[in-house]
Amino acid sequence: MKGKFIVLEGIDGCGKTTQIKELSEWLPKSGLINKNATLIKTREPGGSILGREIRDMILNNDKANPPSNLTELLLYYADRAEHISKIILPALQNGNWIISDRFSGSTLAYQGYGRDIDVDIIKKLENIVCPNIKPDITFLLQISPEESIKRRQNKVADRIESEGLEFLKKVNHGFQLIALENNWKIIKASKDLKSISQQIQTSLINKFSLNK
């Protein structure tokens, strides 16, 4: 692939949206991106046109009548299949850079560790949906489950965010293991915004300035 694929992961409210905003202002001025390349900000679920409808189906459906765990898993992969074919793959083939708010790691953490779906099932789907798409670098923004709930207390919770502390603890544990297994960059995200942005920027300079 000619382009670069950057992913931010973490439990709800860990600061991905905030850091992606900072990053999308810094990256074009960083000298890392070729002048003729575009920087695309995207997210999962909901990075494509159809994906926005899938996002709504997953997150905003009737909390009293939720999808089964397997249905939920397949909806996340339907979103990802569409996201890859319509947004990620064309961008990377054209030499553009992508920053995605969540990708496959979220499915392993939330549906695998959170919902207890067999990780082998998730890995099989992963091989079908994204055989050749791997992020160049993934950041785990690390906060505690208690901090996650505190940060979101004035916001209306979607269906997944309403799962509560015990679910979030399992997801958080999953993220730690996945990050270590896959050599993600782990950033302590309870610090001040500037120091978090600086750590992300330093990792990107170290990773990409040598590859230019």
Q: Which residues bind ligand T5A (CB under 6 A)?
A: 10, 12-18, 43-45, 76, 101-102, 106-107, 110-111, 151-152, 160-161, 189, 193, 196
Q: Identify which of residues 110 and 208 has a Cβ nearer to ligand T5A in the complex.
A: 110
Q: Which is nearer to ligand T5A, 96 or 104 (CB)?
A: 104
State the minimum distance, in angstroms, from the CB of residue 104 to ligand T5A.
Answer: 7
At closest approach, how far in Å is the CB of 41 from ligand T5A?
12
For the chain, first and last CA: distance in Å?
A: 13
For residue 28, the minimal CB distance to ligand T5A (Å) is 20
| Residue among 38, 9, 52 at smallest CA distance from 138 | 9
Specify whether the CB–CB gap between 191 and 14 falls below 8 A: no
Nearest to ligand T5A of 2, 191 (CB atom): 191
CA torsion sign for 109, 126, 178, 4 is negative
Q: Least distance in Å: CB of 143 to ligand T5A? A: 8
Phi, psi dihedral angles at 74 (to 5 degrees):
-65, -35
Q: How far is the CB of 200 from ligand T5A (least distance, A)?
A: 12
Closest to ligand T5A by CB, 45 or 135: 45
- Residue closer to ligand T5A (CB basis): 4 or 16: 16
